[in-house]
Structure 1
Amino acid sequence: MQKKLISLLIILLLNQYIVAAQHTEKQEVLIAKINTILENEINQSNIPGAVVLVKQGDVTLYKNAFGYASLNNFDNKRLQNPEKTTVNHLYDIASLTKVIGTTTSIMLLVDQGLINVEDPVCDYIKAFNTPDKNKITIRHLLTHTAGLIEWFPFYYYSNKRKDTYKIIDKLPLKYAIGSGRHYSDLGFILLGEIIEKVSNLPLDQFMEQHIFKPLRMEHTLFNPLKNETYNKITATSHGNPFENRMVTDASLGFKIDSLNPNQWNGWRQYTLKGEVNDGNAWYANEGVSGHAGIFSTVDDLQKVIDVLKNKGKLNDRQFISENTLDLFLTQDEFKNGLGWVMNNSSAYLKNAPKGSFGHTGFTGTSIAVIPKYDISVILLINRQNLGLLASKSYYNLNPIREKIVTSVLDYCDNKKN
């Protein structure tokens, strides 16, 4: 009897060893695929560098830094001593601010019963109590269905956040409310204003007190140059050449007919490093906005994602209620959640199973979360540091994002077999 038990135990241990070895082998295949994808892009001078973090459950499957955090100077020439990327570098996460900062803030206010996503915006911003705008709700802002114009160069008229808010109040709607999803920074600037009004705190202080500190995101903040602690910051663009093009090149569809592009000339004439790339966030919102402005590291971003993956729990504490998570992470008629994108035709969610969500940032950042497999992918790339292409646009990262998420999905599917 004892020999049989010993034999069974040996068999069980061998099986566990074999399964562990298979998982390690599959993990190594995933790592090799990601390495090849990013190293090829760097070797072809398509991107300067990158940081990637893939985490499943409580296990970090892969975390690595590639290439350079600062490679080119303002004249788009190679630096004599380029700065190598590390996993500890701060990145300008651009529009990931919308989900990591602003959407999470709104979730917390909903949890506290201080706002409801169906509340009319005019309950908080009186200037919206007009016949054309009084039907706009917080949900409309979160889902980009409020009918707002996609973009406006506020810095031609304002250099203070409170004044920028007033300009949005006066802008006419471009689309019928709720008629379609038209991605707009303006809606998230307004959400930032609502957060400030409800909490009686500046937006950056609210996020610091209610998100960054509780989650121990010690390397996440707005305006990092105001804090001498942070000396590893990834460089982004050389001034704002693309936004300059947005106000001068009508083919992009953003040019304002009534605006003389030469009436303002505050363009930055240096490589941006620690200053938010987004012009409206930097010039018109003092570096702090609901749509852009947060700088963070890959590990800090993962802390928010872990809460979302763990049904709102922070260790043993319920940081965000499950009901609120369900509210925000349920697909609407346009295949998106509240704040988060849930449309798996997006490159960074390509063919991901139902319930997956993510977002991107203009500087080159992206997040993909796949709850079915309890896995997430954070990819930070400083594509702008190589300057504009001959097409006068920045390098398109969608093929990279799609290849990486496809590799992760292959790993998940193979792991089941």
Structure 2
Amino acid sequence: MTKTLSSLLMLILTWTCVANAQTESTDPVTRSITRLAQDAIERGDCPGVVILAADSKTVRHCVVLGNQQSQPHVVPMGRDTLFDLASITKPVATATAIALLQQQGKLSDSDPISKHLPEFTGQGKSQITVKQCLLHTSGLTPDNELSDYSDDQEQNWDNVCRLPLRSAPGSTFAYSDVGFIVLGKLIQRVSGMEQQAFVAQHLYQPLKMADTQFNPPAEFKTRIAPTAPAGESWIHGRVHDPRAFRMRGVAGHAGLFSTADDLVLLGRELIAASKGQGKVFEKATVQRMFQPVKLDRGSRSSGWDHSSPYSSNRGNSLSDAAVGHGGFTGTVLWIDPEKDLIYVFLSSRMHPDGKGAINRHAGKIATLIGDNW
């Protein structure tokens, strides 16, 4: 009888996680994750969080805690909440698209950007390669002036093409949104499709990532976590990044929305592909994308972080093979092929007052998970 009741309890706990209920787990690691997440909420660093730690077959730890929205009214957090991923767009929508175009034989890492975008020249920019943009060693400025962007998309691109270099291409690491805006344009030109259409057709649809998209339709709004204050309201249902917003919500550096479960699906595909068992990616494609490159400030791979000044959210117990990325809005994704571990931490740290900070919390949780994997 006791064994039956125990099995029933575990079934209920598993079911409630799937159904978005917030409940206390009997698993000691999950309970420890919950305590750390609760600390982040109580400190005002985020209103709520969805945390998944999964391997290739199962979700081992699921924590759905707090609120999706705290003002002007409360909406409880759900496992199916969509988040503005911010810079996680870079690996999930841009680096992956570049990798697929390479797999199709349409690009190579060593190609100068100007080979495919001949207008992208002048002031040394003709020598910038695809790989340098992916590694943030292009020499391009981190961000150009917001006034360079408007609803005139052709003018936006002309303004990017006129930017001077900050340093010689390949000489130093300097995290650059502009470099990924250039890659977004490259995807469009080489594929002959808008970036959002290319990744949807070639990546998200085959992997059944049904919630991953730019510019979510209005019917998704009730499931989307709002971000920063905007006048007397909050940014809700549209991209937070101001440059991506002026680029109509689609850019190589920001704009993607997704759920924790969709990111697990992507992580599983990339881990499977690294072993030659992918549905979308070939083994060589993922090996090339994940190959770490030592830089003057840590190491990165093509569109992904390894160990750099931006890695505080990875903790200290993932393997050297782990790749990941964070997003300004409070989002974290790490994929560790060696440990067969996918770690997703999604929050909306900018809500409600724009003052939250989650990297320290995410890093502690990553360490806890890695130590007990």
Q: Quick check: TM above 0.5?
A: yes
Counterparts of 1:201 and 1:399, CA distance in 2: 39
Q: Take 2:213 and 2:149, find their aligned partners in 1: how far apart are those partners?
A: 26
* Structure 1 residue 27 displacement after superposition: 8.7
| Contact residue 236 and residue 363 of structure 1 kept, 8 A | yes
Distance 2:259 2:149 in 1: 33
Aligned CA distance change for structure 1 residues 126 and 344 (closer, same or farther; 3 Å) = closer
Distance 1:313 1:208 in 2: 24
Q: Counterparts of 1:185-224 in structure 2 under 5 Å?
A: 185-224=177-216
Q: Distance in 1 between matches of 2:118 and 2:170?
A: 20
Moved more, 272-281 or 160-169: 160-169
Alignment correspondent of 2:51: 52
Are the aligned partners of 1:121 and 1:134 in contact in 2 as well (CA < 8 Å)?
yes
Partner of 1:342: helix, strand, or coil? Answer: strand
Identity of aligned residues (%): 30
Q: Which residue of 2 aligns with 1:343?
A: 307
How many residues in Structure 1 have an aligned counterpart in Structure 2? Answer: 344
Query: Which one of 350, 367, 371 corresponds to residue 333 of structure 2?
Result: 367
Contact conserved, 2:304 with 2:324, CA < 8 A, in 1? yes
Is contact 1:313-1:320 (8 Å) kept?
A: no
- The answer for the alignment partner of 1:329 in structure 2 is 290
Query: What is the Cα deviation at residue 317 of structure 1?
Result: 5.4
Using the TM superposition, give the Cα deviation of residue 29 of structure 1 relative to its aligned residue in structure 2, in angstroms: 2.1
> Aligned runs of 1:244-283 on 2, under 5 Å?
270-283=233-246
> Take 1:397 and 1:202, find their aligned partners in 2: how far apart are those partners?
33
Q: 1:377 aligns with which of 339, 343, 357?
A: 343
Find the residue that maps to 1:304 and give its secondary structure.
Answer: helix
Extract unaligned runs of 5+ from structure 1.
1-25, 73-78, 240-267, 389-393, 413-417
- Cα distance in 2 for partners of 1:399, 1:302 equals 22
RMSD: 2.0
| TM-score, normalised with respect to structure 1 | 0.78
User: Normalising by the residue count of structure 2, what TM-score does the alignment of the two structures yield?
Assistant: 0.87
Alignment of 1:16-415 (within 5 A): 28-72=27-71, 79=72, 81-130=73-122, 132-224=124-216, 226-239=217-230, 270-283=233-246, 285-311=247-273, 318-334=279-295, 335-343=299-307, 346-351=311-316, 352-388=318-354, 394-412=355-373
Q: Which moved more, 1:38-47 or 1:154-163?
A: 154-163
Q: Deviations over 1:159-217 (max 9, x none)?
A: 23332221110010111111111001001111110100011111111121111211111
Q: CA deviation at 1:349?
A: 2.3
Tell me if structure 2 keeps the 8 A contact 1:348–1:358. Answer: no
Query: Cα offset for 1:269?
Result: 5.7
2:275 & 2:225 partners in 1: Cα distance? Answer: 31
Runs of 4+ in 1 over 6 A off after TM superposition: none
What is the CA distance between 1:402 and its match in structure 2?
Answer: 1.4
| 1:52–1:380 contact (8 Å) kept in structure 2 | yes
Report if the CA contact (8 A) 1:155-1:280 is conserved.
Answer: no
Q: Does the Cα contact within 8 Å between 2:52 and 2:59 map onto a contact in 1?
A: yes
